[in-house]
Structure 1
Amino acid sequence: MTLRPDRFEDLDDVTMDDVEELLSRRFVLGLLEAHATRLDPARRSAAGPFVTHLLAETAAGIETLLSLQRRSLRPDQDGNVPFHRMLHDICDQIERQMRRTRAFDLVVDVAPACAVPGRQVVRLALIASELIINAIKHAHPAGAAGLVEVACRVDPDGTVVLTVCDDGIGLPEAFDPVAQGGFGMTLIRTLSRQLGAVVTFESTGLGLMVTTTVPPPPRRH
């Protein structure tokens, strides 16, 4: 099953600053969702101290994420960003926060030579973040420990291939990622369209592999 840019809804393009803000907001949303599972409905009305603690943790998470973004987004002389560093930073941050409420192993396989054009890197990072959070949240709904593997490479022609795999239950049989899903899937569709990327879902019931293939940007004359 494949998501192609020409099948996405007609949404307005966003700027790089907009996407950076979305990355921060989406991470915080994932953190809030993960922590919310620690409260049963009967306790939520009396959760004042918990909420105070959660807001403090969220503020710290925002500061950490913004710091790693500023460090990771510095391009080299060719205008490329070392995506291996940014991907490791994002995975480390997700792992630190979500491991408090969920059991999983997160493995990252990306070579130091994996550099992505600056015009693509934030959108690709946001896609990666969304796919990783989704895998951690949904692969094992019964709460069993799972494995999430993240890999990225740049082919000789400049094509970037990002893969996120899990060993969970796969996609529901009736679920259509082209048309269904909430904020996360809409975000992936929008960013993929802007990158001219193709997103492929391979679900067998023994796991899910999502591959995002991004063509090299057109050369500027």
Structure 2
Amino acid sequence: MSILVQRESVGLAEADHRIGNNLASLSGVIRLQRNTISKSGKPFTTPQVCMLLDDISARIEVMAKLHKSLALTTNGDGVILGDFLREISETISTLGSEGRMDLTVENACHGDIDPRHALHVGLITAELLTNASKYAHPSGLVVKVNVRCETRDNGSFIVEVTDDGVGFPENFDPSTDGGLGFQLMRSLANGLNAELQFEHDSLGVRARLVKPRQIQCQPKN
């Protein structure tokens, strides 16, 4: 077997492994959503069912964009964060109620991140965007959303999603409160060893996902 064929075989095996892992992660998210709905015991209206299906559609789109990004990389070792978030954001902005999001993406983030982190980042970003679309303006006004990111050579990165909505309800603590969406975001951030920060007032919400540099363990003598 030639070296080229061997490399292609290894590359396909690695792609299959990543796809399998990411499908399993997505399945786990959907099962969590299903269990939460089952435990609530509440009937759902047609609009609520449509929103749930939009959520699932958004998560599938995130995984599709991730594997497209991986396929376009020259070495398959990293996902260009800015391009990945731009594609996710533009897709999410078209889901659900038409015309409810005025989206701006600051695509100056040309560094890449570990593919193992990309699905988590994508799902958190999608959740923040869908929340802004649903809740930022209860009156139905168009919500203005800005997405930006930063990457550094040491592996750290920041993703920020800002909206101009009405903010969170009084006494709402995003670090502990909220439904399935907030539980999911907190769990995904913990899986990244990252911090999910929120600033909010009556003029909007700024959410920031902060992934610090990875500290390498020193071998013991």
Match of 1:125 among 90, 97, 122: 122
Any idea what SS the aligned residue of 1:189 has?
Answer: helix
Question: What are the equivalent positions in structure 2 for 1:1-221 lying under 5 Å apart?
Answer: 16-21=22-27, 36=47, 67-74=64-71, 76-77=74-75, 79-100=77-98, 102-111=99-108, 113-218=110-215
Please give the alpha-carbon distance, in whole angstroms, between the structure 2 residues aligned to 1:143 and 1:112: 31
Over 3 Å counting, the alpha-carbon distance change for 1:219 and 1:79 in structure 2 is farther
Aligned AA for 1:173?
A: E
**Bigger-Rg structure (1/2):** 2
Over 3 Å counting, the alpha-carbon distance change for 1:171 and 1:107 in structure 2 is same
TM-score normalised according to structure 2 size? 0.69
Please report the RMSD computed on the Cα atoms of aligned residues, expressed in angstroms.
3.7
Gaps of 5+ in 2: 1-20, 33-43
1:161 and 1:212 in contact (8 A); partners too: yes
Any idea what SS the aligned residue of 1:108 has?
Answer: strand
Over 3 Å counting, the alpha-carbon distance change for 1:65 and 1:188 in structure 2 is closer
TM-score normalised according to structure 1 size? 0.69
2:145 and 2:161 in contact (8 A); partners too: yes
What fraction of aligned residue pairs are identical, expressed as a percent? 28
Aligned AA for 1:18?
A: A
Gaps of 5+ in 1: 1-14, 27-32, 40-50
Over 3 Å counting, the alpha-carbon distance change for 1:177 and 1:154 in structure 2 is same
Please give the alpha-carbon distance, in whole angstroms, between the structure 2 residues aligned to 1:64 and 1:176: 29
2:59 and 2:126 in contact (8 A); partners too: no
Residue 77 of structure 1: how far off its partner (Å): 3.1
Per-residue CA deviations over 1:107-144 (Å, capped at 9, x if unaligned) read: 11122513111121111111111111111111111111
Q: Greater RCO between the two (CA within 8 Å, min separation 6)?
A: 1
Over 3 Å counting, the alpha-carbon distance change for 1:123 and 1:64 in structure 2 is closer
Any idea what SS the aligned residue of 1:73 has?
Answer: helix
Residue 76 of structure 1: how far off its partner (Å): 4.7
Over 3 Å counting, the alpha-carbon distance change for 1:218 and 1:122 in structure 2 is farther
Please give the alpha-carbon distance, in whole angstroms, between the structure 2 residues aligned to 1:120 and 1:76: 18
1:150 and 1:165 in contact (8 A); partners too: yes
Paired residue total: 186
Over 3 Å counting, the alpha-carbon distance change for 1:218 and 1:80 in structure 2 is farther
